[in-house]
Amino acid sequence: MTRFALTIEYDGRPFIGWQRQAHGPSVQQALEEAVFAITGEEAAVQAAGRTDAGVHATAMRAHVDIAKPITPFRLMEALNARVRPAPVAVLAAEEVADDWHARFSCIGRHYRYVIVQRRAQLTFEHGLAWRVTTPLDVAAMQAGAARLVGRHDFTTFRSAHCQADNPLRTLDRLDVVADGARIDVYASARSFLHHQVRSMVGCLALVGQGRWTPDDVTEALEARARAALGYNAPPDGLYFIGADYPAG
């Protein structure tokens, strides 16, 4: 049995999320069915993060155990051939130690959220970015983001359905970067709560619109109550962009 680490890119629009579920297609299901077609093995593909419906990835990390002899390159090529026409691509595959786990070995996760400021509807980026029709004050958003960095109780910023035992998280990075009409929000932490990034971005957008101040972000955080949340941004603009693992 060989454990392979995979780096995966996908468009989340056709899927109900990463995790296999009975009521719709998932990224995990698409990959596991491809593995079965190649090897005849019912192998689980475990990921670093369980993205929601409509959320995308440019570099999701995952692993799968396969008994059939196969090289990493041949596995990557075969998966890409079999997973079609689903919008999923395996960018890399490598053999790893048996105790390497895409989720439990991960020590850092990175997301990007894409906002486009324009009144006209999105064409090429429809479903791939959040269209905001009013100009946003990026400096104010940056000030609001600074209030969330560090170790906090993020109860306000997690889904009511979040299954995490503890709402305490250490947010290492929350940067707001503007490039013309486009705004990218970068978030990094060892782990995130369900909907945490989308909830934070939604509140930062309120700050950018002048409907909230950075002090309102602090008040929402300190309330430790979902009812204090201003807005939950849509999944369209959210991308899982990387995962960190211990060296060696």
CATH classification at residue 12: 3.30.70.580
CATH number of the domain to which 165 belongs: 3.30.70.660
For residues 115 and 186, membership in a common domain is answered with yes
CA-CA distance, 110 to 172, in Å (whole number)? 10
Nearest to 42 by CA among 75, 74, 64, 16: 64
Dihedrals phi, psi of 72, to nearest 5 degrees: -55, -40
- Output b/e per residue, 102-121; b: 16+ Cβ within 10 A: bbebbeebbbbbbbbbeeee
For residues 154 and 50, membership in a common domain is answered with no
C-beta of residue 60 within 8 angstroms of C-beta of residue 240 = yes
- Identity of residue 79: L
The per-residue pLDDT for 49 is 92
- Identity of residue 73: F
pLDDT category of residue 248 using cuts at 50, 70 and 90: low
The mean of the pLDDT values for the chain is 96
User: What distances in angstroms separate CA 128 from CA 5, 115, 150, 184, 208, one per listed residue?
Assistant: 26, 9, 29, 12, 21
The pTM of this model reads 0.96
Percentage of the chain beyond pLDDT 70 is 100
Query: How many residues are there in the chain?
Result: 248
For residues 7 and 53, membership in a common domain is answered with yes
The per-residue pLDDT for 201 is 98
- Identity of residue 171: L
The per-residue pLDDT for 22 is 81
Q: Please check whether residue 50 lies inside any domain of the structure.
A: yes
C-beta of residue 61 within 8 angstroms of C-beta of residue 243 = yes
Question: What sign has the CA pseudo-torsion 235, 237, 238, 239?
Answer: positive
Which residues, other chains included, contact 4 with Cβ-Cβ below 8 Å and sequence gap of 6+? 63, 64, 65, 66, 72, 75, 93, 94, 95, 96
Nearest to 38 by CA among 78, 5, 70, 65: 78
Q: Please check whether residue 104 lies inside any domain of the structure.
A: no
223 is in which domain, residue-wise?
A: 109-244
The count of structural domains within the chain is 2
Q: pLDDT for 133-184, tens place per residue?
A: 999 999 999 999 999 999 999 999 998 888 888 999 999 999 999 999 999 9
Return the C-alpha torsion angle 226, 196, 51, 185, nearest 10: 140
Q: pLDDT for 32-61, tens place per residue?
A: 999 999 999 999 999 999 899 999 999 999
For residues 118 and 69, membership in a common domain is answered with no
Q: Please check whether residue 103 lies inside any domain of the structure.
A: no
CA-CA distance, 239 to 11, in Å (whole number)? 9
For residues 141 and 75, membership in a common domain is answered with no
The per-residue pLDDT for 91 is 98
Residue with tokens 């309330």: 223
Nearest to 158 by CA among 100, 214, 229: 229
Catalytic residue from among 11, 52, 137, 153: 52
Q: Please check whether residue 101 lies inside any domain of the structure.
A: no
C-beta of residue 54 within 8 angstroms of C-beta of residue 235 = yes
**Six token digits for residue 114:** 């894409």
Q: pLDDT for 63-94, tens place per residue?
A: 999 999 999 999 999 999 999 999 999 999 99
Residue that finishes a domain, picked among 66, 96, 126? 96
Does 244 qualify as catalytic in the annotation?
Answer: no
Residue that finishes a domain, picked among 48, 70, 96? 96
User: What distances in angstroms separate CA 154 from CA 53, 90, 161, one per listed residue?
Assistant: 22, 33, 14
